């Protein structure tokens, strides 16, 4: 199956990034969200991101205009009827994702592939309520999508070979590097990464070093391009907390307990860059 048009449900940071990556590579995109305000913000974000590529000489201005024209915003799931594939890119919440995926199956063509951008939730579990779980797959992009080259492709128990092959081909066509991953909480990258971030919060909570020194230590001592606490702010502290809670529930291993400091920051609304304050402050 050659995927020529894709629906993206969710116009947040991940959804808009996925839409941009697809559109720049010549794929027609319908991006769905519950409000016109969210969709307008997504289009503005995408345009700003493309403008930066133009200013750096990485994209022609004419190509920017063509890419933007390929992205059609909509608040109606009925707009998905022509899509060869639909990517769900909503918040990392099991119940929310299941509701959206059920709506996608109702609206999309019977042969359309349905993918989820989950970073930690079981693909098999999300597919369980579908009439055709064979066409369901995990397609985990990394933030920021336009910059990060990796995509984890996760097969559920009933994902077909045809579905996996089509998604693998699409991933390469949009200039991303796919890796095949077995279905397990956190998959590969986040299974390693998020507990490391959580441990950095424990180190900060115990007063072993300042946030700045923790991040500097990991950048210079482990050759990481960004420190774990700054990375948590970029990813979103609420996302990190949600992933740790999934690990604790699914593995039942206390080593995955979330740091109290991380939970308290989320409760205080300090979610990182997106809220203007997390471990660090981000002036408007």
Q: How far apart are CA 253 and CA 245, in angstroms?
A: 11
Is position 119 annotated as part of the catalytic site? yes
Write out the two tokens for 173: 């066509």
Q: How far apart are CA 272 and CA 284, in angstroms?
A: 13
Of 88, 92, 105, 152, the catalytic one is: 152
Is position 140 annotated as part of the catalytic site? yes
Is position 223 annotated as part of the catalytic site? no
- Using DSSP's 3-state secondary structure scheme, residue 103 falls into helix
Of 88, 140, 198, 242, the catalytic one is: 140
Of 5, 122, 183, 190, the catalytic one is: 190
The owner of tokens 């990481």 is: 224
Of 119, 122, 183, 198, the catalytic one is: 119
Contact between residue 215 and residue 227 where contact means Cβ atoms under 8 Å apart = yes
Is position 168 annotated as part of the catalytic site? no
Write out the two tokens for 22: 């697809």
Write out the two tokens for 85: 């594939």
Q: How far apart are CA 284 and CA 281, in angstroms?
A: 9
Query: Which residues are tagged catalytic?
Result: 119, 140, 152, 190
């Amino acid at each position: 199956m050659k995927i020529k048009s894709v629906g993206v449900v969710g116009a947040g940071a991940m959804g808009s990034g996925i839409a941009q990556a697809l559109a720049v590579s010549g794929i027609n995109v319908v991006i769905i969200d519950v409000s016109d305000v969210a969709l307008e913000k997504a289009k503005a974000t995408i345009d700003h991101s493309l403008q930066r590529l133009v200013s750096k000489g990485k994209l022609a201005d004419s190509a920017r205009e063509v890419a933007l024209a390929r992205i059609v915003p909509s608040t109606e799931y009925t707009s998905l009827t022509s899509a060869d594939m639909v990517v769900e890119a909503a918040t990392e919440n099991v119940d929310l994702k299941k509701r959206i995926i059920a709506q996608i199956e109702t609206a999309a063509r019977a042969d359309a592939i349905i993918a989820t951008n989950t970073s930690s939730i079981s693909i098999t579990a999300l597919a369980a309520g579908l009439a055709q779980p064979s066409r369901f797959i995990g397609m985990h992009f990394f933030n920021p999508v336009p910059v990060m080259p990796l995509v984890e492709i996760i097969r559920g128990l009933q994902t077909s070979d045809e579905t996996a092959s089509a998604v693998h081909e699409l991933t390469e066509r949009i200039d991303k590097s796919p890796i095949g991953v077995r279905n397990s909480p956190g998959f590969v990258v986040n299974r390693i990464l998020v507990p490391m971030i959580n441990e950095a919060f424990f180190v900060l909570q115990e007063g072993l070093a300042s946030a700045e020194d923790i991040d500097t230590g990991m950048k210079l001592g482990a050759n990481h391009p960004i420190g774990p606490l700054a990375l948590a702010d970029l990813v979103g502290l609420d996302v990190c907390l949600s992933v740790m809670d999934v690990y604790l529930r699914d593995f039942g291993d206390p080593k995955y307990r979330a740091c109290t400091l991380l939970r308290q920051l989320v409760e205080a609304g300090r979610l990182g860059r997106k809220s203007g304050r997390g471990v660090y402050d981000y002036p408007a």
